[in-house]
Amino acid sequence: MLVTINALPLAVGVLLSCSTTLGATPVYGRLTLGLGWAFVQLAVLVGGTCWYEHRAASSCASASATTIASPAAGGA
């Protein structure tokens, strides 16, 4: 899932890096399209990683709670 989330920003970043004139297009002041897209790509990567880590930690916590509760229920 993490790869899927980051695939589109990476593909657009590769396309922008192939065209220097497109990447150098000014957006706001000294901010160019290439630099702005790099910030967007970084935000998507960090946000997706945090989401993935939170989801993985919550699934591990629920799995360990289930595992701990199972032997007690089966032994009683």
Q: What pLDDT does residue 69 have?
A: 55
From the list 10, 36, 8, the residue with the least C-alpha distance to 22 is 36
Average confidence (pLDDT) over 39-68: 81
Q: Domain coordinates of the chain in residue numbers?
A: 2-64
More confidently predicted of 49 and 6: 49
- Give φ, ψ of 42 to 5 degrees: -65, -40
Q: Who contacts 65 (Cβ-Cβ below 8 Å, separation ≥6)? A: none
pTM of structure = 0.64
Q: What share of the chain is helix, strand, coil (3-state, %, to 5)?
A: 85, 5, 10
More confidently predicted of 46 and 72: 46
Q: What pLDDT does residue 64 have?
A: 61
- 76 vs 69: CA distance, rounded Å: 11
More confidently predicted of 39 and 59: 39
